[in-house]
Amino acid sequence: MTERFNSTLLNMLGTLQPHQKPRWRDYVETMTHAYNCTTHSSTGFTPFFLMFMRKPRVPSDLVFELETDGEEFTDTNEADFVHRLRNQLQEAYDLAATHANAARKKQKKCVQQKVPWS
């Protein structure tokens, strides 16, 4: 997974304008955030969502004053919050695993069709 991410990040950095490329280090953080906010075809979720169980707030949300679609934390009972969060995370992880398995089978099928087995 690390090699795949590094390859994707290098491709993203390759889209920088020629005058930006000497300062590529200044863009790694922004590009990583963009990657983490992008839905992955393998899981059907963004890495940000799987980590924090909410959609990220991005600068355009603030500029256009868009509301978040997630609920704000207002629970006074922490045990209820923890229980609900644990259930939501388990649901998301289970669904992401299902999507990842389906993607893996699809990729395996494509590889088997292209590689002659003897």
Cα–Cα distance for residue pair 60/6, rounded to 1 Å = 26
Task: State pLDDT tens for residues 73-104.
Answer: 454 566 777 677 778 878 888 888 899 889 88
Domain coverage including residue 25: 2-66+79-114
Contacts of 47-52 with CB under 8 Å at 24 or more apart are 49/92, 50/92, 50/93, 50/96
Give me the count of residues in the chain. Answer: 118
Q: Report pTM.
A: 0.58
54 within a domain of the structure (yes/no): yes
Lowest mean pLDDT among 6-10, 17-21, 40-44, 57-61: 57-61
Answer yes or no: are the C-beta atoms of 5 and 35 closer than 8 Å.
yes
72 within a domain of the structure (yes/no): no
The alpha carbon of 72 is separated from its chain's Cα centroid by a whole number of angstroms, namely 21
Tally of domains in the chain: 1
